[in-house]
């Protein structure tokens, strides 16, 4: 099994007619993802390599039965794209776009919770989600992901999402689903959302969690793991050597007032029984030990 997406998931690419939307939309279709349409109000009725383009998500959902969308819209248009998807009947929204204004993120996050509580938002500023061998939505390279489980991956860092997949592939360990939640201040999907989904998924037997400095998401995840998870977890927290008060990479990775440090996050995770590696490779090796002991 998997979480959030599988081989039956039908996806609309919002921004399919743009260069990046076209590139990844076609690449994901080649992987085997059911890319059934795109949206662009100025190009409705056209197609991209046989994929029909619709004026909006409501039209696309009505014509194709799509349940997921992937947003490759420039940052200024993301709020409208998210709401178009939710109002159009999309239940799982993946937003790849980075640089989305924080107030826009907070606005659509709160509006989705209030008006569309059945909609799951992933991102913005994330690599997307892949259930290896079944469905790839976003920018993750499919060839580095080994299908078949038993490990689920959730990562806040985009680049380290790929490394986590590669580390497990090198050890011949398959993945149920890998979720890149993104590192912006207002993520649509949290560590806890993914941990709860993996805990409920019978095919996922263990979880690899990649975090980084800044915020309190990892500490909150540690508390959830300690009190609710029955499945073993390995982890790596990026940013051990980051100087306090410095922004590292993006808006979510900033340490202030002694909070959000890598050391504090690792301590919380260890206290929750998580096996914590000092680098991504070690986290992969710890997961290999977990899998071998099953």
Per-residue pLDDT tens over the stretch 84-143: 999 999 999 999 999 999 999 999 999 999 999 999 999 999 999 999 999 999 999 999
CA dist 100 to 201, 206, 217, 239, Å? 32, 33, 20, 23
Per-residue pLDDT tens over the stretch 60-69: 999 999 999 9
Looking at residue 252, its pLDDT comes to: 53
Backbone phi, psi, residue 17, to 5°: -80, -10
Looking at residue 179, its pLDDT comes to: 98
Structure tokens at 255: 């340490």
Residue 66's closest CA among 29, 16, 13? Answer: 13
Q: Is 203 exposed, middle or buried (0-12, 13-18, 19+ CB in 10 A)?
A: middle
Per-residue pLDDT tens over the stretch 106-123: 999 999 999 999 999 999
C-alpha–C-alpha distance, residues 66 and 60, integer Å: 7
Task: Please report which confidence band the pLDDT of residue 185 belongs to, taking 50, 70 and 90 as the band edges.
Answer: confident
Task: Please report which confidence band the pLDDT of residue 80 belongs to, taking 50, 70 and 90 as the band edges.
Answer: very high
Task: Please report which confidence band the pLDDT of residue 213 belongs to, taking 50, 70 and 90 as the band edges.
Answer: confident
Residue 63's closest CA among 12, 15, 18, 21? Answer: 12
Q: What is the torsional sign of CA 1, 128, 282, 237? A: negative
C-alpha–C-alpha distance, residues 132 and 168, integer Å: 12
Residues forming the active site: 250
Say what percent of the chain tops pLDDT 90: 87
Residue 69's closest CA among 86, 47, 46? Answer: 86
* Overall average pLDDT of the 8-19 stretch: 97
**10-122 with 141-292: one CATH topology?**
yes
Task: Please report which confidence band the pLDDT of residue 251 belongs to, taking 50, 70 and 90 as the band edges.
Answer: very low
Q: Domain coordinates of the chain in residue numbers?
A: 10-122, 141-292
* Overall average pLDDT of the 254-280 stretch: 85
The DSSP bridge partners found for residue 276 are 235
* Overall average pLDDT of the 68-77 stretch: 97
* Three-state helix/strand/coil letters over the chain: CCCCCCCCCEEEEECCCCHHHHHHHHHHHHHCCEEEEEECCCCCCCEECCEEEECCHHHHHHHHCCCEEEECCCHHHHHHHHHHHHHCCCCEEEECCCCCCHHHHHHHHHHHHHHCCCCEEECCCCCEEEECCCEEEECCCHHHCCECCEEEEEECCHHHHHHHHHHHHHCCCEEEEEEECCCCCCCCCCHHHHHHHHHHCCCCCEEEEEEECCCCHHHHHHHHHHHHCCCCEEEEEECCCCCCCCECCCCCCECECCECCHHHHHHHHHHCCCEEECCHHHHHHHHHHHHHCC
For the chain, how many residues are written?
294
Per the prediction, the chain carries an average pLDDT of 94
C-alpha–C-alpha distance, residues 6 and 207, integer Å: 18
Helix 78-87, helix 102-115: angle, nearest 10: 10
Looking at residue 248, its pLDDT comes to: 55
Task: Please report which confidence band the pLDDT of residue 244 belongs to, taking 50, 70 and 90 as the band edges.
Answer: low
* Overall average pLDDT of the 153-172 stretch: 95
- Give the predicted TM-score (pTM) of the model: 0.94
Task: Please report which confidence band the pLDDT of residue 257 belongs to, taking 50, 70 and 90 as the band edges.
Answer: low
Residue 173's closest CA among 204, 151, 199, 152? Answer: 151
CATH code given to domain 141-292: 3.40.50.261
Fold of the 10-122 domain = Rossmann fold (3.40.50)
């Amino acid at each position: 099994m998997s979480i959030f997406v599988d081989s039956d998931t039908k996806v609309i690419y919002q921004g399919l007619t743009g260069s990046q939307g076209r590139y990844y939309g076609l690449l994901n279709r080649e992987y085997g993802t059911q890319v059934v349409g795109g949206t662009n109000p100025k190009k409705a009725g056209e197609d991209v390599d046989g994929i029909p383009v619709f004026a909006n998500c409501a039209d696309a959902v009505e014509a194709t039965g799509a349940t997921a969308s992937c947003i490759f819209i420039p940052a200024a248009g993301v709020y409208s794209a998210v709401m178009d998807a939710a109002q159009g009947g999309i239940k799982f929204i993946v937003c790849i776009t980075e640089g989305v204004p924080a107030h826009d993120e907070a606005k659509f996050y709160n509006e989705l919770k209030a008006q569309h509580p059945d909609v799951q938002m992933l991102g913005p500023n994330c690599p997307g989600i892949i259930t290896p061998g079944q469905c790839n939505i976003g920018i993750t390279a499919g060839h580095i992901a080994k299908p078949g489980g038993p490990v689920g991956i959730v990562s806040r860092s985009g680049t380290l999402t790929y490394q986590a997949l590669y580390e497990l592939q090198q050890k011949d360990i398959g993945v149920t689903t890998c979720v890149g939640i993104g590192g912006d201040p207002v993520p649509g999907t949290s560590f806890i959302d993914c941990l709860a989904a993996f805990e409920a998924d019978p095919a996922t037997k263990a979880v690899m969690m990649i975090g980084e400095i800044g915020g309190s998401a990892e500490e909150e995840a540690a508390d959830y793991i300690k009190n609710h998870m029955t499945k073993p977890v390995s982890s790596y927290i990026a940013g051990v050597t980051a100087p306090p008060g410095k922004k590292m990479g993006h808006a979510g990775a900033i340490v202030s007032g002694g909070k959000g440090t890598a050391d504090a996050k690792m301590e919380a995770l260890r206290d929750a029984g998580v096996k914590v590696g000092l680098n991504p490779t070690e986290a992969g090796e710890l997961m290999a030990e977990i899998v071998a002991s099953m």
